[in-house]
Amino acid sequence: MFKSEYLNKVYETTAQRNPNQPEFLQAVRDVLESLEVVVAKDSRFEKYGVIERMVEPERTIAFRVSWVDDNGKVQVNRGFRVQFNSAIGPYKGGLRFHPSVNASVIKFLGFEQTFKNSLTGLPMGGGKGGSDFDPRGRSDGEIMRFCQSFMTELSKHIGADTDVPAGDIGVGAREVGYLFGQYKRLRNEFTGVITGKGISYGGSLIRPEATGFGAVYYADEMLHTFGEEVKGKTFAVSGFGNVAWGTVKKINELGGKVVTISGPDGYIYDADGIATEEKINFMLEMRASGRDKVQDYADKFGVPFYAGQRPWGEKFDVAMPCATQNEVGLEDAKKMVANGVKYYVEVANMPTTDEAVAYFRQNKVVIAPSKAVNAGGVAVSGLEMAQNSMRYSWTSEEVDTKLKQIMKNIYKNSYDAAKKYGLEGDLVAGANIAGFEKVAEAMIAQGIAY
């Protein structure tokens, strides 16, 4: 699989130790492919077993979550927290509540988070957690009771200087509030132990928009490399949650036009663009409704809805998948290439299958990788941690300015890292290498205990 015997051995051992975990193994392959040139030039990484340690979480926690529904029936879910790497700071990463959550998904997300957090330049290690609990269709009372039960166990393993969770799919402002309230009750302390909090109790301005805003800032920097810009470009976006909402909002601010959003039921095509304040705000109403149907947008604004389909066959300049892992497959990639798409910007975590990535590469499509593109969310979470530590808050303009600079630095550092190893223009390799080098150097400096 790899030219390096060392990397082959690492991957084979990882695959043997983690059977039936395809998402995690896919994420490991993606990173190791980029590190071929790095390990060939620096023998320290093999000597000190850096990569063997990096693919093995420092701690994996699984636990039962028992709670009582509105009918008085006891329900049981499974909770997870994977504390992957703390070499450069406390574990940091979101909590995902979704039926698809399992050990493989959480480990892949935690592994990716290690490199993503490294790229931000902020002192944050990598972690991830969640549960197979589905908040859709549940009452506020049921969600509160579940969150309180979940945090009762999780609170034993986290802390402001140990592990700082945040939100993710299925964990928004409401869930974060219930989780934080239970932590505070159990520990009798008010600390920045979870990010994505409400503004009234220590949250940061523009946190809900941050992942989408950061993705567009990254895309703009990437386009500038090719003498282009967001202004005047047409974008296809998938999903319609917070990430897609922030992405659509910022594309409009920079003069681009978004023509698609999607949901589990299909996608809509808005030829005029999702450009008015009413349309953009309706995305938030759709998410808050709990219906999880993008058809609601089509019904309200009179645009075409395509049931059971994905938006990648439409005509556009830039693709920005914002929904979930492996949502773009080989056939989707073929449609985009046939339609002349030159730029593919991963906003969701690992939204592209290996086959689709290979096809994009063969056809010279520029791929901007998720671990760099969507780092804006965790970057602003890091800024929230800083504000909590200072007992202070910054204005929206201050946070946005810091976010924009962080995303510019991520792009530059990724581009420069690829160029350093003779891979100029390969943003996937550049992000993996830049994220890896910082963590690896810290691990070596701290000895084999880490």
Catalytic residues: 128
Picking from 313, 431, 427, the residue whose alpha carbon sits closest to that of residue 367 is 427
Q: Give the list of residues 6+ apart from residue 285 with CB closer than 8 angstroms, or none.
A: none
DSSP conformational letter for 203:
P
Asked if 84 and 111 count as a contact pair (C-beta separation under 8 A), the reply is yes
Radius of gyration of the chain (CA): 21
Q: Give the list of residues 6+ apart from residue 86 with CB closer than 8 angstroms, or none.
A: 58, 125, 450
Q: Which residue has the tokens 């008015």?
A: 276
440: number of Cβ within 10 Å: 23
Asked if 324 and 263 count as a contact pair (C-beta separation under 8 A), the reply is no
266: number of Cβ within 10 Å: 17
360: number of Cβ within 10 Å: 23
Helices (H), 290-426: 295-301, 330-338, 354-362, 370-373, 375-390, 396-420
Asked if 443 and 43 count as a contact pair (C-beta separation under 8 A), the reply is no
164 membership: H or E segment, kind and range: strand 163-166
Question: Phi then psi for 435, rounded to 5 degrees?
Answer: -65, -40
Angle at 409 between CA 372 and CA 89, to 5 degrees: 70
Q: Which residue has the tokens 């928004």?
A: 172
Picking from 99, 68, 67, 64, the residue whose alpha carbon sits closest to that of residue 79 is 64
Asked if 220 and 229 count as a contact pair (C-beta separation under 8 A), the reply is yes
